[in-house]
């Protein structure tokens, strides 16, 4: 005997849109930032090779100084982006917290050395 029970149609599944990841202060310039970091990575590899090749100390130190300057420039750009995007352009409820984090980051960068 065949069953006369009718199957109820399946409810269409609602697809929730995944939460959009929060943009960062560097999001707009991410490709340039990654290019700059790759260049710095190459400079560090060059310093390693200089040491392996027993190059003159001052030449190695000069290259280290160049890497530090390049990293400082990256850090300054990140600080600028954070201040503009995350602090000033961010939600009012997070301004105090993000300002404190920004100032702590500035203090860490200034203490270096």
Task: Tell me if 67 is assigned to some domain.
Answer: yes
Rounded percentage of the chain residues whose pLDDT exceeds 70: 81
Could you tell me the CATH number of the domain that includes residue 86?
1.20.58.1000
pTM for the model stands at: 0.74
Per-residue pLDDT tens over the stretch 13-24: 556 666 667 788
- Residue 96 inside a domain? The answer is yes
Q: Is residue 19 part of a domain?
A: no
Residues in CB range of 95: below 8 A, 6 or more apart: 87
Number of domains in the chain: 1
Asked if the structure places residue 95 within a domain, the reply is: yes
Structural domain contains residue 72: yes
Cα–Cα distance, 91 to 103 (Å, whole number): 18
Higher pLDDT, 37 or 6: 37
Query: Which 8-state DSSP code applies to residue 37?
Result: H
Tell me what pLDDT residue 10 has: 57
| Structure confidence by residue, pLDDT tens digits, 55-94 | 999 999 999 999 999 999 999 999 999 999 999 999 999 9
Show the domain range for 70: 27-111
DSSP state of 83: I
């Amino acid at each position: 005997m065949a069953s006369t029970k009718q199957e109820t149609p399946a409810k269409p599944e609602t697809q929730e849109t995944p939460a959009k990841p929060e943009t960062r202060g560097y999001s707009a310039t991410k490709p340039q930032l990654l290019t700059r970091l790759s260049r710095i990575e190459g400079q560090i590899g060059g310093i390693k090779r200089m040491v392996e090749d027993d190059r003159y100390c001052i030449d190695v130190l000069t290259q280290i100084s160049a890497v530090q300057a390049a990293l400082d420039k990256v850090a300054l750009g990140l600080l600028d982006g954070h201040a503009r995007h995350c602090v000033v352009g961010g939600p009012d409820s997070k301004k105090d917290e993000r300002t404190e984090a920004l100032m702590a980051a500035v203090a860490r960068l200034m203490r270096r050395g």
